[in-house]
Amino acid sequence: MRKFSSLLFLLFLSWTASAQQLNSPNGALQLNFELKDGVPFYDLKYKGIPVILPSKLGLKLKNHPDFTEGFVTSTAEQSDFDETWEPVWGEEKAIRNHYKEMAVTLHQDAAHEHRTLMIRFRLFDDGLGFRYEFPSQQGLAHFIVSDEKTQFAMTGDHTAFWIPGDYDTQEYDYVESKLSEIRGLMDAAITGNISQTSFSPTGVQTSLMLKTADGLYINLHEAALINYATMHLNLDDEKMIFESWLTPNPNGDKVYLQTPSVSPWRTIIVSDDAREILASRITYNLNEPNKIEDTSWIRPMKYIGVWWEMITGKSTWAYTDDFPAVELGVTDFSKASPNGKHGATTENVKRHIDFAAAHGFDGVLVEGWNEGWEDWFGNAKDYVFDFVTPYPDFDLAGVRDYARSKGVELIMHHETSSSVRNYERHMDQAYQFMKDNGYNAVKSGYVGTILPLGDNHYSQWQVNHYQYALEKAADYQIMINAHEAVRPTGIARTYPNLIANESARGTEYQAFGGSKPNHVTVLPFTRLIGGPMDYTPGIFEMDISKLNPDNNSWVNSTIANQLALYVTMYSPLQMAADLPEHYEKFMDAFQFIKDVALDWDESRYLEAEPGYYLTIARKAKGTNDWYLGNVNGNEGRASQLTFDFLDSNKTYVATLYEDQKDAHYRNNPQAYEIKKGTVTHKTKLSQYSAPGGGFAISIREANAEEIKGLKKLK
Amino acid sequence: MRKFSSLLFLLFLSWTASAQQLNSPNGALQLNFELKDGVPFYDLKYKGIPVILPSKLGLKLKNHPDFTEGFVTSTAEQSDFDETWEPVWGEEKAIRNHYKEMAVTLHQDAAHEHRTLMIRFRLFDDGLGFRYEFPSQQGLAHFIVSDEKTQFAMTGDHTAFWIPGDYDTQEYDYVESKLSEIRGLMDAAITGNISQTSFSPTGVQTSLMLKTADGLYINLHEAALINYATMHLNLDDEKMIFESWLTPNPNGDKVYLQTPSVSPWRTIIVSDDAREILASRITYNLNEPNKIEDTSWIRPMKYIGVWWEMITGKSTWAYTDDFPAVELGVTDFSKASPNGKHGATTENVKRHIDFAAAHGFDGVLVEGWNEGWEDWFGNAKDYVFDFVTPYPDFDLAGVRDYARSKGVELIMHHETSSSVRNYERHMDQAYQFMKDNGYNAVKSGYVGTILPLGDNHYSQWQVNHYQYALEKAADYQIMINAHEAVRPTGIARTYPNLIANESARGTEYQAFGGSKPNHVTVLPFTRLIGGPMDYTPGIFEMDISKLNPDNNSWVNSTIANQLALYVTMYSPLQMAADLPEHYEKFMDAFQFIKDVALDWDESRYLEAEPGYYLTIARKAKGTNDWYLGNVNGNEGRASQLTFDFLDSNKTYVATLYEDQKDAHYRNNPQAYEIKKGTVTHKTKLSQYSAPGGGFAISIREANAEEIKGLKKLK
């Protein structure tokens, strides 16, 4: 008893000192932490301006006292960290990880069983990351998080670029609105998806991009989502306070944990310059370093595919219309009548291999090559694919050998139809099959509702699956490009074989009725904060009815905009998504796709305004070549560019791919012009982009011979 | 339109003939099928006496018209079947499968989209099996069964031997009551279990044993539960009608199917002689023939184990008390302090190997050999075991080599803690590990609530898991003994590597507070209808406090009763569950366990009354030896035996293990006596069994020398 009293006394002393302050390395950001009446609060300021007002921290537990109140003491340890690390692939060759850290240890009172919770803050010059840590302690071995109660109290009715909160999909168009308008706009924002589960009229997803009336840019997301439920944000639109909203497991519990363990990091990137949001690397920095020793097999890839023709409805994944229901291993496809529209035929794939080889592409993705597409989704079908059995018209060995002879890699496709157990059952065999046949990368898919029905794409249970698939792929030296999986949170730092994700509304929606013209000016501020997206750009034919008379979709973009995406939508995996025959009509424009690099030594964010425009210049890995891309929103606009990122003593040859003056995403998208000229570090350029348009520039160091006869670019 | 009319006309003709009758081969059973106002009905008579009154058939579908009504036509095809097949192991060397079949094809009206349903009836002399069949048809490719509405209308307020309906466990004591009393007795019948989910105050499990006032014995169960939800029965206790009640998947749907497919068989075994219920093989006969070509590796096994000492609390599965939570691969057991009570130590296992070798046992089961038991259940812990990593005090290679040198096989233990995904993830590695280390059989366990929480042990989803584990084990030539899995339904005919299941209240409950003394007189009429049980008999020390002072349980059985179980509880896998040191005190009684066979050419059910007594004689495979067992209920009783099953021209030596006159399960369980004498086919014996007692007799053909000096047994 005596010991207990003295403990209380000591801790009381430290409680009196429990208000803690932390400044970022350059002092721009200031974090305050405080215990008020037993409740932990934090707030954040940028250059003295409030970003996050005092906001509560904590979690509710099931069958245990909550971690939201009853804290009587806290101690804080501050430390510095500064390292520079080299990513296996990325927007630059070296990333600085520089922060001040404060680890706060909180003790609860007797009514809360004297539990201990830690909150670790890392304050960078461009943002804050913090997470909960659950140390090993008496009486708390395993526990269930029933709710996380992390608040992000806004300073006003900011403008947000948001998509509806959903446990199953991020495939929504972004809405730009005031926070106070979210509730009224929610219903219309929830457009149809094969699998979707919204939860609140003010629930939105991260990463969430915000802009204040004062011109502050704020981004809310999470980093290192491992063994935890995906976080959404629910807005109290009277108080303008966001609170974390975790995706439930099937029975409603949010997270199962044991001590010691940690939550993902909650991140707040902040700047008065939108370009710094794009340049921020705190999401990667808050992840663990690379765990894959030999990374020689992880290589950026540019690819084409047998895909867009199915997405538009020109051809089909399915081989036959004979079977309303397929039973793998029983249904005999060799006796079926082909439907005549099957995309993944040997002949068509070889044609794609030829095209890839002719134009220097690394790979060809083939979808619909394997049995099971006749009834592949919407049927709660467990054994939907086996991932190894080709249709009769796909000569697997022949195609494999042909690709090899042409120096082209095939990219595997594992659509799971969200029959996740079935995928795990076949995973070892499927990965081994890939290695046996020379496939080193796989596009995995999670279309449809998770089986067994009742679970969701973003639950802890499924998050653990995606991680399982990723780590097992690493064992097989396989690169993963996971579609419909949970959106990335920087895990590619730790497992760089995660070369891309979809996890947002990709180009396919341009064939499903169209996306907003400014969609691509938002994605880099939202979805791409966590990692690269397999956006599949490069559509040259915007009138989808020309591919499929029954599909009246229109691609809301110009060709110049499509080219720019290879620069603005950073990914080590880039597709040229349109059909070879469409590229063959515009080979001069196609040249940019052939030329553009996939991996970079340096990136410069020249202009940026979410929802409106974005201009990025990147220096290709190991070269002096630069590629520049601009994408534009709904209105025409002129960029004012300077090329001061170029070496001051060199002259470069630039090839500019621009919208013609009368180009327009809706009625004149193919109106582009190509100009060639010289540029130096002194070049200034006022460059027009059409509505839904953009421009792309390739810049390479030139010798005297090459620049002969070329004028300065203007 | 004209075609449609003529179709209706034709079908109307066949509707007028839609009342169909089918007689069993010997005419004892009569089935009637009829469409009444569009609803299918069946009824069953035994020797002219109603067994099942007219009962509805059908299923409710989700998002489709139901298969319960609107049937306008039916056609029936009758056929005969008679075969004799040889099981890989069993109660006899050949099983006759002899039935009359009627396949009824039912067509629905336009309001029900002209759907087709088939019901296939197989009428044996000892019972009826029927199932639903869903043929491939227009507009019905994939569908969801939301409820099965199969009725079993009783003819009166029968006596039932029932356990509470439950989605997760069958580990209940049986209640004997009138059907009308079930509701009032339900609450008390639902005793505690780590995982249990009851659903109705009149819901009971199958197989359900019933007895009518007229002395008819009726057993309701199912056969070939494959890719379907486990069936329970819910009683309308006003009308005395049972209706099928399927275990739901996590979201409440019962079964996901596609056409063509079939339901499991619903079985009704019926006789006026209880012995014929035990002799019935319709559950096996309704399963598909053996699918395993080479069965040379499937062998009955008699085994001991490091198990009862943990069940009683004398020792522990866990190695240490250091870790409130284990993280496999991270927690370092080599640095932990042993708790001093760990059962699966190298030394203890070697002691068991020595005992097994000395007494001719085939195998030794070792539980608690692998890391993870410190926090193995109740924590919703996903990665709970890896199935391959031993504790520091278990020298896997040393024990393996020692067992091999002694000619003893080790039996693997895979406790999954119901973290089923985790088991599937490790299954290939775990099975391969077994083969690499000479294990050919595994006891798998599903203790605790299924993960992710929300699913249940008996759902279609989990039924598919057990089948997956079984079929994969067959690929590895591994025998399965699955505990806490769904109760068997004769699947061992098709996959004879399913050598046993628990799936009922086994001997372990004698150390958890005790089971009813007559429990073992009920199990052969209920649980064993679907296949063998790893009941783990052979307890000689009934006072559990002698093993663990903190455990006041009492084994409600006499030693003679325990010996008889090796005959009455048929299983190709039989454990001698008690500790070697207990057997060493009673080596004369232990001799019966050493002698008794595991596989049989013939079985004779000499006496039987569920809940009261049971006497079975079995002829050991490939010999002229017989073993006879009697188990008795709560009261003392004398059996009147004749030995006319013996060869008429031979004299046999019999060793009788009987209760002493004052033996009693509660206060004098170890009072047994052993008598030796001769028997012939003319021998008659009046043999007493104590309350909770029994007797066992080993009988072997003897030569003149052996019988010298022996008296006739009496």
Provide the residue ranges of all domains of chain B, joining segments of one domain with +: 3-285, 301-596
Average pLDDT over residues B41-63: 97
Q: Does ipTM come in above 0.90?
A: yes
Whether the predicted pLDDT of B7 surpasses 60: no
Question: Using an 8 Å Cβ cutoff, are A694 and A563 in contact?
Answer: yes
Give the pLDDT confidence score for residue B18 in this predicted structure.
63
Reply yes or no on whether the pLDDT at B11 is more than 50: no
The yes-or-no answer on residue A508 being catalytic is: yes
DSSP A199: -
Name the residue type at position B316: T
As a whole-number percent, the residues of chain B with pLDDT over 70 amount to: 97
Q: Helices (H) and strands (E) in chain B — how many of each? A: 14, 36
| pLDDT-wise least confident of A619-623, A693-697, B707-711 | B707-711
CA distances for B524 relative to B127, B205, B277, B333, B511, angstroms: 17, 15, 9, 44, 21
Q: Is B142–A382 a contact, with Cβ atoms under 8 angstroms apart? A: no
CB < 8 Å to A464, chain B:
382
Q: Which residues pair with B668 in a beta bridge?
A: B664
Instruction: List the single residue in B144, B452, B464 with the smallest CB-CB distance to A380.
Output: B144
Q: Which residue of B has its CA nearest to A256?
A: B380
Q: How far lies B236's CA from each of A331, B556, B569, in Å?
A: 42, 34, 33
CB contact under 8 A, B253 and A380: yes
Give pLDDT tens digits for B135-151. Answer: 999 999 999 999 999 99
Residue A265, pLDDT > 90, answer: yes
Region B601-613: mean pLDDT is 98
pLDDT classification of A704: cutoffs 50, 70, 90? confident
Q: Name the fold adopted by A3-285.
A: Beta-galactosidase; Chain A, domain 5 (2.70.98)
Is the CB of residue A325 less than 8 Å away from at least one CB of chain B? yes
* CA atoms of B501 and B503, how far apart (whole Å): 6
- Give pLDDT, residue A9: 37
- Provide the CA B543 distance to its chain's centre, in angstroms: 27
CB B325 to CB A136 under 8 A? Answer: yes
pLDDT band at A549 (very low <50, low <70, confident <90, very high): very high
In whole angstroms, give the CA distance from residue A585 to residue A10.
78
DSSP string, A230-292: PEEEEEETTTTEEEEEEPPPTTS--EEEESSEEPPEEEEEEESSHHHHHH--HHHHTSPPP--
Return d(Cα A486, Cα A537) in angstroms, integer: 21
What is the model's pLDDT at position A18? 64
Distances in whole angstroms, Cα of residue B295 to Cα of each of A582, B40, B89, B492, B598: 60, 42, 10, 12, 17
Interface-testing mutation among B140, B197, B251, with chain A (most A C-beta atoms within 10 A): B251
For chain B, positions 518-577, list CB contacts with chain A under 8 A.
Answer: none
Say yes or no to pLDDT of B279 above 70. Answer: yes
β strands within A24-141, DSSP E: 29-36, 39-46, 49-56, 59-62, 71-85, 95-108, 116-124, 127-134
Q: What is the pLDDT of residues B229-253, one digit of tens each?
A: 999 999 999 999 999 999 999 999 9
CA–CA gap between residue B676 and residue B678 (Å, rounded):
7
CATH class of B301-596: alpha beta
Q: State which residue of chain A sits closest to B421, comparing Cα positions.
A: A421
Q: pLDDT per residue over B445-494, tens digit each?
A: 999 999 999 999 999 999 999 999 999 999 999 999 999 999 999 999 99
Element (H, E) at A405: helix A396-405
**Residue A394 half-sphere exposure, CB side, CA atoms within 13 Å?**
22
Nearest partner of A394 among A352, A358, A428, A347, judged by Cα: A347
Tens digits of residue pLDDT in A329-363:
999 999 999 999 999 999 999 999 999 999 999 99
Q: Reply yes or no on whether the pLDDT at B214 is more than 50.
A: yes
**Residue B9 scores a pLDDT above 60:** no
**Mean pLDDT to the nearest integer, A149-157:** 98
Q: What does the pLDDT look like over A57-113, one tens digit per residue? A: 999 999 999 999 999 988 999 999 999 999 999 999 999 999 999 999 999 999 999
Lowest mean pLDDT among A120-134, A533-547, B12-26, B324-338: B12-26
Find residues 252-311 of chain B whose CB sits inside 8 Å of chain A: 253, 256, 258-259
Choose, out of B382, B431, B468, the residue to mutate when testing the contact with A (most A CBs < 10 Å): B382
Secondary structure class of A590 (helix, strand, coil): helix
Average pLDDT over residues B263-290: 98
A46 phi, psi to nearest 5 deg? -120, 120
Instruction: Determine the distance in angstroms separating the CA of A151 from the nearest CA of chain B, rounded to an integer.
Output: 28
- Give the separation between CA A188 and CA A180, rounded to whole angstroms: 15
Partner residue facing B424 (CB), from A141, A375, A424: A424
Residue A123 and residue A24 in contact, taking contact as beta carbons nearer than 8 Å: yes
* Sheet strands (E) in B28-94: 29-36, 39-46, 49-56, 59-62, 71-85
Longest dimension (CA), chain A: 92
Tokens of A285: 């920095």
pLDDT, tens digit, 9 for 90 and up, residues B541-563: 999 999 999 999 999 999 999 99
Supply the mean pLDDT for chain A. 96
Distance CA A292, CA B442 (A): 35
Instruction: Tell me whether the CATH fold assigned to A3-285 matches the one assigned to A301-596.
Output: no
Is a pLDDT exceeding 50 seen at residue B564?
yes
Give the chain A residue whose CA is nearest to the CA of B462. Answer: A452
pLDDT, residue A6, reads 36
Is A324 in Cβ contact with B453 (below 8 Å)?
no
Q: Residue B357 in 3-state DSSP?
A: helix
* For residue B181, pLDDT beyond 90: yes
In this complex, which of A136, A250, A253 lies closest to B250 when CB atoms are compared?
A: A250
Candidates A367, A484, A502, A508; catalytic one: A508
Chain A contact set for B428 (CB, 8 A) = 428
The distance of Cα A658 from the centroid of its chain, to the nearest Å, equals 27
Question: Sorting pLDDT into bands at 50, 70 and 90, what band is B14?
Answer: very low
Q: Judging by DSSP bridges, how do beta strands B95-108 and B29-36 pair with one another?
A: unpaired
